Amino acid sequence: MDYKKLSEEILELSGGAGNVTAFTNCMTRLRLDLADQAAADVNAIKKLDGVLGAVPGEQLQIVVGPGHATRLRDAFATVSGIKPGAEVDADGQVKVRDVAAETRGKVKARQTTPIQGLFRHIGNIFIPIIPGFIACGLVSAIVNIWKMIDGDVTANPWFLALAGLGGILGGALNLITGHNTAKEFGGSPIMGLVAGAVPYMPALAGIAAAADGSSEAKLLNIPVFGAISPALGGIIGVIATAWLFTVIEKWVRKRVPAALDLFVVPFVTLIIGAVVCILVIMPVSALVMKGINWLLIDFALEKGGVFGGFLLASFFLPLVMLGIHQGLTPIHAQLIADVGYTQLLPVLAMAGAGQVGMALAVWAKTKNDRLKKIIKSALPIGFLGIGEPLIYGVSLPLLYPFITACAGAGFGGAFVALGMQITGGFGATGMGVSGLLLTGLISNGQWLWYVGGLLVSYIMGFVLTFFFGFKEKMVERLA
């Protein structure tokens, strides 16, 4: 891909440097904040060589695929003369950003509902961690495959080193999450890191039951909702604690002389934040996690069984499309911490497999060279579980293939849920990977059920799309 040429074309079709107020990237997309959305020719951008799709809105999102997004961002910075994240005036000149005002304006403009705002914040917290999830996930997959091949390998020092390497992010996730949460809400990242450590303090295990022998734990003679122990409330508790730290920090800073800021603000933030965390946030977060686990695991998967698996897999693609699927990351992390694996991920991973089956069907039926080229570019990473290029470049613009892809994924989800019922349960021992790469992370040696689910999703996505989801006239929607 010629990133310089593509950047020049995108810049021109987006209204020029004067219309780009800021830009950044995620794993698969270049994201442009535009002063005037109407000045961007989104349809023309979609037709550019190398572009797999474009999503208009408050932030123009140009889908180019993993690996390409970072390189395109760097080229765009060179071509436009704008640093990623920098704001420019109407003449294209870089100006000093009022970060607070900018953040308030963007939040008000984009958060049409509190739920959307919540998922957006969660996404911003966890998206930067994705490369770490992928790296550690792949290492853990190698470890699991090695163990399946050689059951006596656990004494091998190289095996132990790899196992430790794969578990690094899991062991530090609370600290990284606290750091990113504080950064997201405008607090001091280092205080966020400290906030992430508070719910996991080993000293919390020393809070004994009440002196009268009841099971109710007490701290400073104040009753707590259940026994206090390290990690109570999990990642959700970390996010809430780090957010509280930023609130306290800002409140105290407004009331403390600048000369005392360095000493008073972090100290007061830590003391007050830690007390509220232990007495309120941890037990309440634990209740929230229990409710979520009941809904998604006990009710949807265990009681819902095959039907529950079908619904979960079918409705995951719309979550990805809306960008709110990152809201499930804390749930996966907590399930892995609690039981050693997340039952949800193998079921939800079927969504990407349904996309692959859909893409193969469209490839087989269409005569349009441009559509074939888009599929050729996006299909390999689709097998590896990265489905956004196929969503925005193929299924969503064509519409009906998006529906058949969801339905095809549902059948795969039902198959995996059936396997969980028959075997007594299994899941993914790590996060960050999906598709074929997730096979090595399936617990309890039940990877064949997962692979079977992928095959079912491929086949049903293909069959439903081939016979019901695609007609050549739909290609006109890509124009």
Q: Return per-residue pLDDT of the chain as tens, 479 residues.
A: 899 999 999 999 999 988 998 898 887 889 998 988 889 999 899 889 888 888 887 789 998 888 888 889 999 999 988 877 544 444 434 443 343 344 334 444 444 566 667 777 887 888 788 888 888 888 988 888 888 888 778 788 999 999 899 889 888 999 999 999 999 999 999 999 999 999 999 888 766 444 445 555 555 555 555 567 788 888 999 999 999 999 999 999 999 988 888 889 999 999 999 999 998 999 899 899 889 889 888 898 889 999 999 999 999 988 876 666 777 888 998 898 888 899 999 999 999 999 999 999 999 999 988 889 889 888 988 998 888 788 888 888 888 999 999 999 999 999 999 999 999 999 999 888 899 999 989 998 899 999 999 999 999 999 999 999 999 888 877 65
Contact between residue 405 and residue 458 where contact means Cβ atoms under 8 Å apart: no
| Eight-state DSSP code of residue 277 | I
Residues 6+ away with beta carbon under 8 Å from 277: 195, 198, 199, 237, 240, 241, 244
Phi and psi, residue 15, nearest 5°? 100, 10
> DSSP states of 137-180 as a string?
HHHHHHHHHHHHH-TTGGG-HHHHHHHHHHTHHHHHHHHHHHHH
d(CA 457, CA 407): 9
Residues annotated as catalytic are: 26
Q: Cβ–Cβ contacts within 10 Å for residue 392, how many?
A: 25
The radius of gyration of the chain from alpha carbons, rounded to an integer in Å, stands at 24
Question: Which residue intervals of 1-129 are DSSP H helices?
Answer: 3-13, 42-46, 68-80, 99-110, 114-126
3-110 folds as Gyrase A; domain 2 (3.30.1360)
- Pairing verdict, β 53-55 and 29-34: unpaired
Q: Is 442 helix (H, G, I), strand (E, B) or coil?
A: strand
> Which pLDDT score, from 0 to 100, does residue 324 have?
66
Q: Is 218 helix (H, G, I), strand (E, B) or coil?
A: strand
d(CA 167, CA 316): 27
Contact between residue 195 and residue 244 where contact means Cβ atoms under 8 Å apart: yes
d(CA 360, CA 383): 11
Token pair of 52 as six digits: 């797999």
Q: Is 53 helix (H, G, I), strand (E, B) or coil?
A: strand
* Chain region(s) in the chain for CATH 3.30.1360.60: 3-110
> Which pLDDT score, from 0 to 100, does residue 212 have?
46
